[in-house]
Amino acid sequence: MRFTTLDGLRRWLDKLAEEVDLVAPTDVDGHVLYRPVQSADAILFDYERPELSAKDFLFPATEVLLRIEQKGKDVAIEEVLPDRKQVLFGIRPCDAHGLAVIDALFLEQDPPDRYYRHHRERTVLVGMACLQMWEGCFCTSMGGGPMDTTHLDVLIRPSEGGYFLQPVTPKGVAILEGLPVEEPKGEPPSVKEYNEPVPVVPPEKWRPLFNDRIWMRHGERCLSCRICTYVCPTCRCFDVTDRVVDVQPGLTRIERIRVWDACTSPNYRRVAGGHNPRPTKPDRLRNRFYCKFCYYPEDFGPLGCVGCGRCIVACPVDVDITEVMQDVAKQT
Amino acid sequence: MSPDTNPMRPYLGRLAGVKDLATGIKLFQIELLEDEGKAAFADYKPGQFAFVSAFGAGEAPFGITSTPARTPYLEFAVNALGHVTFTLHALDEGDPVGVRGPLGNGFPMDRIKGHNVIILGGGIGGAPLRPVIQTILDHREEYGHLTILWAARSPDLLVFREEFDEWRTAWATDFHVTVDRGDETWTGRVGLITQLLEEISPSPENAIAITCGPPIMIHFVFLTLKKLGFAPEQMLTTLEARMHCGIGKCGRCNLGEKFICTDGPVFWQYEIAEFLEGFL
């Protein structure tokens, strides 16, 4: 355990920002969001749960996979894997947990996702403990916690006189080498109050509820707006398409990109001939919840939800994942 | 695939031929240009699929409709329905394309060997069945009797009509064709493939039935086969989805906890019966 003051932390971050791409919580017009920063000046040190997860920095919402250059009938394809190192500073433990969930599919299932793996290998996760649970948070029910170190390289706990920094991995030890260390003042804090736990039902108990009316009740008011998948730290579906970036006589430059996709989108499962096996909103909302609590754990191991609560806060029609979990628990 | 191969990078190819197959449907013959691509597709199996790139529009998955024994080209039957397929339809011979694959499990030809085979193709759903037909005809002594039921909504949507004569005259092979609605040129049979199937009523003994077509057709073909005494382990189909990766990552083709791309696209009826979520 290392201790430093806010000033020490800022000096360390300023130096990091010169060496790597530094991403940290910032204030964007009143919204707390992770953003690339040039120095510690732009960083928030006392902040709520950021409105979006950190997945964008390892699995970007739009990512160029290939550059394709077509000259007449000749085509050249170049793989795009930028060789940048990044530190994600101040991410919440649930965001690191979300990345671990994505790891189970993108790293651990063959073949690994080449792009995600590339970014993941070049990323250090420096987490900031939560001193409280926020609106909708239920991480403690999903195997995490406000001070969970499990999926981080470093966990920082803010206290009265400064910050306690706990390296968790060798990467974490290495990144803390330049930190100005001081004598600890006081004790690391603890969380005083936890949100009510939410019941987690194992995958096999979800199966008999596939045709239950729960899905109608929760799904009919869904707007198919897809904000839940956008804010989710574990939703990882994607679409792949081309965009033409430059056209000159005899020369076309194309980028093959992948972009986030969402199973709550009406056309998600529509096939080329027009048939849609998931034609209604309840069908699609059910798929999202089954992916998280039944399919993903069965196929890849971890539950597909970390209890960050973002989808609860973001949903314009108050679809609440914890209400769904409670309804499922009642039925089993 | 070597560890350093990027599975999202298409192999470069050239359109060696484009033929009209049916209304709105063209057959694309692709010559692979790179050694890696030729090696990857040296021994692809009936029922496997691949992504075809129309550069500038994107890529889409298609069942491979050729066999490596019959042609050095990769053949795909493509219906113009979306951005990628309309862009493909606008290409000419000699134009560059990309191909990613081969992907998916393919038909279990080793298990099909020694059986009488009933093929039921509906519309462009016949495309992934053509390699099965060709493989059986090319290794005729390894399989039992072959019955082909070929259907489409209308005569102009029947695919591979040029090959009907070969199929009709092949040894130990019966070929039947039907359309839902005829037209002024059509003198053949009119009616649903399921009616034709009931009429022919092939024996389930030592037989395997393989079907592909619109989801509703697959559903009713399975029901009819069941009525004729076919067991779930005697019925095969191949499913489709608008996939984006083909390697189990993008999520787009999930049927419950299964992925059509990596668990399929070929499934036995007993597997489908156990799916939590149906394909229909």
CB spacing of B214 vs A207 below 8 angstroms: no
Q: Is the dihedral of CA B4, B10, B14, B18 positive or negative?
A: positive
Per DSSP, helices labelled H in A176-256 are 203-206, 214-219, 227-231
Residue of A nearest to B256 (CA): A295
What are the sequence ranges of the domains in chain B? 11-103, 109-238
Asked if residues A53 and A232 have their Cβ atoms less than 8 Å apart, the reply is: yes
Pick from B93, B101, B5, B115: nearest CA to B62: B101
Residue B239 vs residues A267, B62, B107, B213: alpha-carbon distances, Å: 17, 11, 12, 9
Closest CB to B279 among A79, A258, A277: A277
Partners of B257 on chain A (C-beta within 8 Å) are 294-295, 298-299
Query: What's the CATH architecture for B109-238?
Result: 3-Layer(aba) Sandwich (3.40)
From chain B, the residues in CB contact with A241 under 8 A are: 57-58
Residue A28 neighbours by CB distance under 10 Å = 12
In whole angstroms, give the CA distance from residue B278 to residue B215: 10
Homologous superfamily (CATH) of B11-103 is Translation factors (2.40.30.10)
Which residue in chain B has the smallest CA separation from A292? B257
Q: Is residue B29 within 8 Å of residue B18, measured between CB atoms?
A: yes
Q: Which residue has the tokens 């067991």?
A: B231
- Minimum-distance CB partner of B245 among A77, A240, A269: A240
- Beta carbons of B247 and A111 less than 8 angstroms apart: yes
Residues of B in contact with A268 (CB under 8 A): 252
Quick check: do B11-103 and B109-238 share a fold?
Answer: no
User: What's B50-65 look like in SS3?
Assistant: EEEEECCCEEEEEECC
Interface with chain B: mutation pick from A295, A296, A298, A300, highest number of B CBs within 10 Å: A295
Q: How would DSSP label each residue in B113-134?
A: TTSEEEEEEEGGGGGGGHHHHH
| pLDDT tens track, chain A, 332 positions | 899 999 999 999 999 999 999 999 999 999 999 999 999 999 999 999 999 999 999 999 999 999 999 999 999 999 999 888 999 999 999 999 999 999 999 999 999 999 999 999 999 999 999 999 999 999 999 999 999 999 999 999 999 889 999 999 999 999 999 999 999 988 888 888 999 999 999 999 999 999 999 999 999 999 999 999 999 999 999 999 999 999 999 999 999 999 999 999 999 999 988 899 999 999 999 999 999 999 999 999 999 999 999 999 999 999 999 999 999 999 98
Please state, in angstroms and rounded to a whole number, the distance separating the CA atoms of residues A115 and B96: 26
The b/e string for B56-94 (b: 16+ C-beta within 10 A; e otherwise) is bbbbbbbbbbbbeeeeebbbbbbbebeebbebbbebeee
Q: Is B47 exposed, middle or buried (0-12, 13-18, 19+ CB in 10 A)?
A: buried
